Structure 1
């Protein structure tokens, strides 16, 4: 029964990871007539000993952690709120569910174009035009993607808008499995909506919330597409938004140093796995804290 899943995981996860480990010990240049040269642990040593590579890698890692620390609680809370909202039995609720889910089915390239227009740095940018309009011109146009103080925040807003509906659907399924008799008993006891939410809704979906938070954490560390697409289509402060996955791709392909990129990927996977294991052990599936 588990064989198909194990085969797919082995083919698309285990084998590529083992291949990355092997490549990290070599100097590999794509298109070069020279064969790969064995370097041992030199790629890993340079990752932490070379000032230029180390500074860029640690900066990218810091961006990843900052992004995850903001996105995980924000997106999980927002997904739960939207799930509670669309779980009501009202006329036309199917339309609202569809509207909330639509951003997830948009191609990411289209999403990047939309948000590039929103965050455009001149007065023609939709966000700048809106802020200038409601303030009577008092708020001057701002370079949301080019300014180091707002660039990562803009990526956060774009990412949450595009992917929160996925977590919303998961939590919606969990909400619909909570027995309605509990809410009816709470109403008889004159419990308000907030008390019902805290005492019935949250405990009822606690296990799903743990799963969603863990899944969102992994997705947050995997951030690449948004930064890459905006970097290619708009003027973006790459130092403030560059992630480890972005650095892995640019090092491996743009700089033609596949071995160094593979070493970064291996180290990063070890860090993400450690974070996921710690997060999973701190919060048990029944919701208790160790």
Structure 2
């Protein structure tokens, strides 16, 4: 158990620094590159951004180690602490100081997510389902992405970044579901996985999710994007798991009340951060000298 705790915290720190580096690099790109493939084409030539991707890979390694020694119900809430590291670090790089509102928003999202995950504790289920259910999953995800991106066009500043982050979180949550289905196929052999459409949909979702995440980073400060991605992804994954795969969560009093309280804290934290003038100022200071010395084309 100590190994699981330490590995989870290490994963959270690596995810935090990875997010900060990616957002710093993406935030310096021109506005017209958002949601366009050329954003990724430019970022893959940026050493700073690649360092962030490398740290994310390392974080997944720590997460895998943690899951080998501890249950998901312990590991996932600890990894959510990445927000507690990422938001202050981002503010530090922008030479800004977080006030009470920003600290409240950061801890509210992190604590709310951890509280909801610990109390609900999703378990069970089977990732084999029919075509109609898959169409429902993909259709609902596509609808949510379209609504979020449309809303983003009508918003500005941190709110726009959060709208794109909502779309990114929805895609990544669906990607988690596709990953579960692909892993299940792999149990029957590599040929079974390669012959399944879910494997190729997983690749497409991964690429689409990457573009949406970097676009959210490009459009606004980390506090407005990473918090929404971290909140949306597990909610989408758990919802799909419950409605389609037959997964179960703990219910009843007081468990459900604790879960709802956690989700309410997440919502309050996101609103607090998105309406913060300090967070808005982070976006206004993007693309500093640190980035220009990092191999930008």
Q: Report if TM-score (shorter chain) is over 0.5.
A: no
Q: TM-score, normalised by structure 2?
A: 0.30
Structure with greater Cα Rg: 1
Higher helix share: 2
